[in-house]
Amino acid sequence: MTPLEATLKSSNGRRILDVHAHVSVHEQGNAPQRTLLSEDAFISMLYLERRRAERAQKRFVLVLVDVKKGNGLNHKDRELSALVGALSDATRETDIIGWYLENNLFGVIGTELGNATNQVVQERFLSKVRKAFESTLGRENSAGISISFHFFPEEIGEEGGDHSANFTLYPELQKKESTQRGALALKRAIDILGSAAALLVFAPFFAAIALIIKLTSKGPVLFRQERMGQYGKPFTVLKFRSMRTDCDSRIHQEYVSQFIAGKVEGKPAEASGAAPVFKIQKDPRITPIGQFMRKTSLDEVPQFWNVLRGDMSLVGPRPPIAYEFRAYDVWHRRRVLEIKPGITGLWQVEGRSRTRFDDMVRLDLRYARSWSIWLDLRILLQTPGAVILGDGAH
């Protein structure tokens, strides 16, 4: 058995990797035989490689080879073996080859890229693969084969750029959604009913808050801010305005960058007796009524409209601002990938603002892994108590 021969099996409800041969390629001298992985096995290896890259802080590239449009190819076993043999000749022993999409897309995971730029990696691979395909299949048959490159970690653009995730690197998320379609539809139904009920029942209360804000400070009642939803899709979040209108966002941006890095005012978070808070304490930009709203989380009530629109859920991770996302470590980014953001979540009911950022992300990821309708209901029932106590809220 080779370490590349893997497939998915279930054992006591858990998904595990097991060895299994799919399509083998010819042996190359004394080198061990390489194997074309099945679609499920390749996607599992891609998932594991992402986790390894997050820990080791090393890049890899996912190369997709579209063989469906190849001229004159009819996907017979002999031709498939020739294609896999060509890929095997053009790649390293440590690269992983398999079906990204059965009978349509070959995938190659190229690891250990070193300091080579994305452009250099792409040019070298294209040169080798094109040459191998032409010598194996002929120039005419290989002319229609298209190749695309997807590097991980994804490069994060500057301010104002697109931070959306490259779905190609996360195929298991789409498969997971398809298997949970019924449960997710129920979650959406609860979101619609819950947010609509909250907007109707508390409408007079909302009007009173709006009036107080208008009478105590100049500016609009609602504060609008672009946040990142699931997969990095931007949307405009609504909140009751709790700050003056002439505020400089750089104060918060600098503080959040230090907080995410595990530092507060230049000191390690662990050096203080109590855990640091996610929001600035005694923020000079906040109005007197804004301080009360933040303490009681009333400033977030308009987000029920975001839930009704589908931008958010009642339960889920907190949606980040783009400059927060740019300060994230690679593994932190998973909190905007695996589930839709929400008004409340595990970190709100179990830690509130007094949770260190890494711990907050771990709570979000734990929620995404163990999500169920029953977990959502438990969190919703715990939220009023956390809001009333106000522990850690600022």
Quickly state the pLDDT bin for 32 (edges 50, 70, 90).
Answer: low
Is the per-residue pLDDT at 129 higher than 90? no
Better pLDDT: 199 or 161: 199
pLDDT score for 70: 54
pLDDT of residue 303 exceeding 90: yes
pLDDT bracket for residue 33 (50, 70, 90) = low
The torsion angle over the Cα atoms of residues 89, 93, 95 and 96, rounded to 10 degrees, is 90
**Residue of 19 and 99 predicted with greater confidence:** 99
pLDDT single digits (tens) 211-264 = 999 888 888 999 999 999 998 899 999 999 988 877 767 777 888 888 887 775
Q: Average of pLDDT values for 40-59?
A: 92
Q: Measuring CA to CA, which residue among 345, 371, 373 is closest to residue 359?
A: 345
pLDDT at 274: 41
Q: What is the pLDDT of residue 15?
A: 42
Instruction: Give 4's pLDDT tier (boundaries 50, 70, 90).
Output: very low
pLDDT score of 14: 42
| Band of pLDDT at residue 60, cut at 50, 70 and 90 | very high
SS3 state at 30: coil
| CATH dotted code for 7-153 | 3.30.70.270
Give 217's Cβ-side CA count (13 Å radius): 21
Higher pLDDT, 262 or 70: 262
Mean pLDDT of 195-218: 90
* Residues forming CATH 3.30.70.270 domain(s) in the chain: 7-153
Q: Is 210 exposed, middle or buried (0-12, 13-18, 19+ CB in 10 A)?
A: middle
Q: Which residues contact 300 (CB under 8 A, 6 or more apart)?
A: 239, 240, 343
Nearest to 294 by CA among 242, 352, 222, 356: 242
Q: How many helices (H) and strands (E) does the chain have?
A: 14, 14
pLDDT confidence band for 161 (50 / 70 / 90): low
Residue 54, helix vs strand vs coil: helix
- Single-letter code of the amino acid located at 81: S
Among the ranges given (117-121, 324-328, 354-358), the one the predictor scored with the smallest mean pLDDT: 354-358
Q: Is the dihedral of CA 216, 217, 222, 228 positive or negative?
A: negative
Q: What is the pLDDT of residue 143?
A: 74
Integer angstrom CA distances of residue 97 from 85, 110, 244: 10, 9, 56
What number is the average pLDDT over the span 68-96?
73
Residue 304 has pLDDT above 90, yes or no: yes
Task: Check: CB of residue 313 under 8 Å from CB of residue 342.
Answer: yes
Mean pLDDT of the chain: 80
* Residue 84 · residue 4 · CB < 8 Å: no
Report the pLDDT value the prediction gives residue 22, as an integer from 0 to 100. 45
Closest CA to 149 of 59, 213, 234: 59
The alpha carbon torsion through 226, 242, 317, 372 (nearest 10 deg) reads: -120
Task: Please state the rounded mean pLDDT for residues 363-379.
Answer: 93
Task: Name the least confident of 183-192, 236-245, 380-389.
Answer: 380-389
Q: What is the per-residue DSSP string for 147-160? A: EEEEEESPPP--TT
Query: How many Cα neighbours within 13 Å face the side chain of 173?
Result: 16
**Which of the four pLDDT bands, split at 50, 70 and 90, describes residue 64?**
very high
Q: Are strands 35-36 and 23-24 parallel, antiparallel or unpaired?
A: antiparallel
Instruction: Give the CA count within 13 Å in the CB-facing half-sphere of 41.
Output: 21
Residue 351 has a pLDDT of 62
DSSP 280: P
Confidence band, pLDDT 50/70/90 cuts, at residue 378:
very high
Q: What is the pLDDT of residue 239?
A: 93
